[in-house]
Amino acid sequence: MRELYPLIEPYREGNLQVSDLHTIHFEESGNPQGQPIVLLHGGPGGGCPPFYRQYFHPEKWRLIMFDQRGCGQSKPHAELRENTTWDLVGDIEKLREYLGIEKWVLFGGSWGSTLSLAYSQTHPSRCTGLILRGIFMLRQKELRWFYQEGASYIFPDAWEEYLKPIPLDEREDMISAYYKRLTSPDLQIQLEAARAWSIWEGSTSKLFVDPELKQKFGDDKFAAAFARIECHYFMNKGFLESENQLLLNVSRIRHIPAVIVQGRYDVVCPMISAWELHQAWPEAEFIVVPDAGHSMSEPGIRSALIDYTDKFALL
């Protein structure tokens, strides 16, 4: 079972203006002469905590991490305007060009896997590999499972807390009911909804409930960006052209070395999505972690990811 590499500090941090409204915060760490890799965080709206750096051998990788629009240290905080999947795909390209990188490996889990697929299918010539975890393709069956009915059968106690901000007569469409509150002009209503939405995900992300993770997801600043941006994307069906766009366009990237790492008991992004991606993309290695849920910090997922970051450093 692999352990994390020691925590390192970035050797460079900066801000890149990607539109008249948005500026994204980025950092580089590891070896400036190493293999370039860009980490695409989850959410959308999750940001990049420092421990993400510990999944990459510091002498082999030139690691680029950035906070996507509206979250982390990017500004303006929790902003929904000019915030779509394709805006983010454009930001990744702007950052690549700004940093003078010709090609790079993509590392993304959960929403980060969604964005990795969207970017690589748009710019396949810029990708030397994909390390994907906790597959999410933003299809309605995935959203219904986690936010409407499905996961509630496994976590009824946490679900009860998720239901609380929403009146009985609005519970037939929980995402719409939450969106109404998360975009309310009343900041107290916004915050109550944001904390409940975020804590629901924090309560269900691991095979064994982690109180510290729930606390992190309940932090006011984190929850505001996380919940508002997620719900905004889900209301707009990920800004995708069709329900199965990312699955249908796998042919554009089947030649790129890739691995799919999936926790067997992932409740947030159930394994069926990883399985269907694997069926469409048999060339990608497929790793099922038998004793894990959704979180990249669970021991089996952590170990598999570090194995593959070591392996892909040799591409």
Return d(Cα 154, Cα 234) in angstroms, integer: 22
Paired with 285 in beta bridges are 259
Instruction: Assess whether 110 carries a catalytic annotation.
Output: yes
According to DSSP, the residues that pair with 38 across neighbouring strands are 64, 106
- To the query of whether residue 266 is one of the catalytic residues in this protein, the response is yes
Considering 29, 74, 91, 110, which one is annotated as catalytic? 110
Catalytic residue among 203, 210, 266, 278: 266
Alpha-carbon gap, residue 199 to 215, rounded angstroms: 8
Residue 294: active-site member = yes
Give the residue numbers marked as catalytic.
110, 266, 294
